[in-house]
Structure 1
């Protein structure tokens, strides 16, 4: 009887040991896959064996795409909000700090792009440096980042179109379909019901740009270059036309006194404004 019990106990112990070994093995394989990096020689071999994408853009068009991503709704809208709510005149320093950070990021992308000239962008770079899991995670986050960036830009564009139509005509579109049913109130920090159904201008510009992208990259780059030149001309006209209206007294104090919270003026408010300016740099 005791011998049978001993055999059963030994069998149970071996079963538990085998189960533990399988769990440990699966866990080891799982974490090994998470941090598995793609060596540069394998990546280079894949690049050499694949058919390269056709290079349709010249350096002027590429420069236009970069400027178009920087000079856009973010600069025209967010910079004013950041100055009014957070930094005051010290937003000049916010632009300088953010510009240096954006420059370092662009130099990093340039270096990585020359080292690994393959499609995939940040996913490929992360896969080679940090592993497959982080590459998957960062790749999806980048997609979500651009999704919300596009949403922000299209909504800002829609508001400006509505304001322009209201100014130049008697047709009041502000009270029509220019907002989503639910919007975010920055002052009260909560969502509220707008009473409107849909943001038609934002949807319209998104569809139009999507169709333009589907036609051909060269035509898209030409349209972008024309718009960039137009925006630069507008900015230069605005700067030179408003030079005589600059009131130097508005720059004093350069750092408005902090009002008790981190993001309300002062040096910390200037740093808070950097986040808005960086968003404007990246997404226009």
Structure 2
């Protein structure tokens, strides 16, 4: 085909496709600009990515600070600025003195009259069992970690710093309000015995509060009394212990008098008339148990005193159990005599136990009971103030509160600054609030502390680390002088004690003795069996970080399920009682899911560390205790939650502006486990 044929037309024309020189310059400039823009954008993206990584790292480091756990070694569990002088008898006296007061002389009459009738006996039994669930968890921790701090320290070891601070801050509020509440009850009780002379005089001479957020009038009697109790605590632990023991003996003697003197006036007709033994039905028994629960608040003072105990591994668990048993027996006997002497509808509004004798014509006994009541309330007040400076001391020593609060007076072995500050605050609260407001505010702090302890007990059983003192270390706590011996923890309940005896040749190595002690409650591990020369035919599954993570998230799920179930039981109580089917169906689903979580937790391997005391029925016991604590918490009023929220906000400001920067754990990695290390 000829070259000029239309089928061979050029694909482009040079004169229209080739750019001229000016256009090339423009394009080149655009390319330079484009490259600069791309480079700038790339640089910006790199900087942004770096900033993002830095921000993420900062967030991660901040999160580690919030959840870093407390670490220590066994040597530090022996060291203390306090004086170890409290025996089982001392601790039991402190526990009973702190617990046995308002329940017998105030709550017994109030609950019988308004909630349960004669069935208050069952209310006290249910409340005692609920308290025992948490008490056994406190007993295990107290034997494992005999240091001042109680629930604050236990949650710091297991859960982390922020939760521990919130727990400790709640415990401070709890004990301050408990002391103020008992001081207020003491004042009101004496005022009632004097026909309201004190309160009427203050109202007429000074005036009343004109706000629903405060009490009726300024209670100067409670204010002065609490300052006196603060001075007693500041003088020293021995004076506090002796004082509480004397008060406890007097209290128990008065209780014996009430039972013996009131028995002749007992009339079974008071249990059969006006609705009989269950005038308010079973819901009334449960409502009464919710109130009676606070009659057992106070036993945790024993765990707080762990650093001043001579044999904590044995003394703390036994004292907690004895305290709860003694108080339960007393409450049952007192409520039985009270409701048999006077019909529940006729019980006096103030000082019901003392007035019961007056209603039966035995006026002389009224004054004996009144004196016993005041002694019991004084002991309970002292028991509320006693652990308060020790809790503040523990938090301050960890750097989370102001340092001056953690100073211990070398003469009295008491943190005097913390005692004075907390005592003044307690007295001021008693001055301006009424008893009902104080009791409700106390409840939320107590229940939060109890809940954190049972959760920590559950989690600690499934951690792969060995934390605290094992059984042998607890039993030998004060047997061997620390400078002459060292105890090396080999794990799985096995320990070696090396003792250095001075030989004539001066060569300590030849005289070094090795003793291996093995005691097991959960079976022997392979390592232990090899060390003691036994043949082994099985390998026990051990906890790991993987199994512990499963338990942690299953525990979180259980908490949410318990919260959901209790929300229905509390806020839809009438619908549940009336049998509305879909409420019952929803409860059945939640209960089934909760049981499944408990079974999966139970299937995980537990830590086999041998302890001086172990809470039984893990995980059932702490999960049941958690359920009860959540139920009681949800029954608190909205005003109580608002007051607690205000207190919590103040605490969080203290933590984020001071505590997080001064924490003693800031020098160690937040990822380190709270494992005891034996030097």
1:278 paired residue number: 293
Deviation (angstroms), 1:193: 6.7
Q: 1:216 aligns with which of 220, 230, 236?
A: 236
2:190 is the alignment partner of 1:161: yes
Change (3 A) 1:75 1:180: farther
What TM-score comes out, normalization by structure 2 length? 0.36
Change (3 A) 1:86 1:183: farther
1:173 paired residue number: 198
Deviation (angstroms), 1:175: 0.4
Give, in whole Å, the separation in 1 of the partners of 2:230 and 2:162: 30
1:187 paired residue number: none
Change (3 A) 1:150 1:144: same
Deviation (angstroms), 1:180: 9.4
2:524 paired residue number: none
Q: 1:4 aligns with which of 36, 50, 62?
A: 36
Change (3 A) 1:269 1:5: farther
Change (3 A) 1:180 1:199: farther
Q: 2:256 aligns with which of 224, 236, 242?
A: 236
> Does 1 or 2 have the higher relative contact order (CA < 8 Å, sep 6+)?
1
1:76-125 deviation per Cα after TM superposition (whole angstroms, max 9, x unaligned): 11222122222222211111111122233333222211111222222221
Q: More helix by proportion, 1 or 2? A: 1
Q: Give 3-state SS (helix, strand or coil) of 1:175's partner.
A: helix
1:36 paired residue number: 68
What TM-score comes out, normalization by structure 1 length? 0.82
Q: Is the CA contact 1:34–1:132 (under 8 Å) kept in the aligned structure 2?
A: yes
- Cα RMSD for the two superposed structures: 2.5
2:121 is the alignment partner of 1:92: yes
Q: Which moved more, 1:245-254 or 1:135-144?
A: 245-254
Give, in whole Å, the separation in 1 of the partners of 2:281 and 2:41: 72
1:130-151 deviation per Cα after TM superposition (whole angstroms, max 9, x unaligned): 1222111111111111111111
**5+ residue gaps in structure 1?**
185-189, 257-264
Deviation (angstroms), 1:75: 2.8
1:150 paired residue number: 179
**5+ residue gaps in structure 2?**
1-32, 299-379, 381-679
Q: 2:152 aligns with which of 123, 127, 139?
A: 123
Q: Is the CA contact 1:182–1:193 (under 8 Å) kept in the aligned structure 2?
A: yes
Larger gyration radius, structure 1 or structure 2: 2
Give, in whole Å, the separation in 2 of the partners of 1:82 and 1:51: 43
Change (3 A) 1:93 1:56: same
Deviation (angstroms), 1:8: 2.5
1:262 paired residue number: none
Q: 2:278 aligns with which of 239, 242, 255?
A: 255
Give, in whole Å, the separation in 2 of the partners of 1:51 and 1:60: 21
Q: Give 3-state SS (helix, strand or coil) of 2:199's partner.
A: coil
Q: Give 3-state SS (helix, strand or coil) of 1:166's partner.
A: coil
2:58 paired residue number: 26
2:246 paired residue number: 226
Q: Give 3-state SS (helix, strand or coil) of 1:133's partner.
A: helix
Q: Give 3-state SS (helix, strand or coil) of 1:22's partner.
A: helix
Change (3 A) 1:191 1:37: closer
Give, in whole Å, the separation in 1 of the partners of 2:215 and 2:83: 48
